[in-house]
Amino acid sequence: MAIENPVEKIRKPPAPPHRDRVLSAQEEERLLTALTPGTLRNEDGRFTKETRDHWLKPMVIIAIESAMRRGELLALEWKHVDQVRRTAHLPMTKNGRSRTVPLSSRAIRTLQEIPRSIDGRVFPISHWTVEQVFERASKLAGLAGVHFHDLRHTAATRLAEKVPNLIELAAITGHSNVGMLKRYYHPTAENLALKLG
């Protein structure tokens, strides 16, 4: 009996456009200032806010330096951080594989300044706390619409300038293929023009 497939003519909706938000050095500085514990003021000098979270500023620095995902950072334990070899081992990542992330000098300095938590995690905070504090600090820094995941885009773009080999870059960021990595690497036309000479 010939029966037509009713689903055959249905088209899959197009994927939403990929985000390509990369923080500039000035935006990063404003964000880190907004995440610094203490009383802060807006540019107009009127609005003050008390920031009490001591974990998010170092977490943002490590995210920008390593391209680790928020979940990977929150699951990171001190027993997997080797400050001598400058690596952080992630036993389980989003794609189901383990990977060891190389850490920059700035990342190591930041890790050395973080107090040790009794539960063994490097960042003993919740997803909810990260979301709330990051959103509040972004608004305070005048960076409306910035998401924590944009730090991964920022990291991949900056790392690509230091590590031009795509295979090595994919090993750092944890992308299984270069096509996925392309979604995170956002060079500016100005930087490409400088490379052309």
Let me know if 147 is a catalytic residue: no
| C-beta separation of 127 from 74 below 8 A | yes
> Which among 69, 45, 73, 49 is positioned nearest to 59, based on CA atoms?
73
| C-beta separation of 144 from 34 below 8 A | no
Q: Rounded to 5 degrees, what angle do the CA atoms 185, 70, 28 make? A: 60
Give the Cβ contact number of residue 15 at 10 Å.
6
- Active-site residue, selected from the candidate residues 69, 70, 153, 158: 69
> Which among 38, 43, 49, 111 is positioned nearest to 76, based on CA atoms?
111
Let me know if 69 is a catalytic residue: yes
Task: Give the helix, strand, coil percentages of the chain, each rounded to 5.
Answer: 45, 10, 45
- Active-site residue, selected from the candidate residues 94, 106, 127, 182: 94
> Which among 120, 112, 127, 6 is positioned nearest to 61, based on CA atoms?
112
Distance of alpha carbon 132 from alpha carbon 92, whole angstroms? 25
- Active-site residue, selected from the candidate residues 89, 136, 139, 149: 149
Let me know if 184 is a catalytic residue: yes
- Active-site residue, selected from the candidate residues 152, 153, 158, 185: 152
Write out the catalytic residue numbers: 69, 94, 149, 152, 175, 184
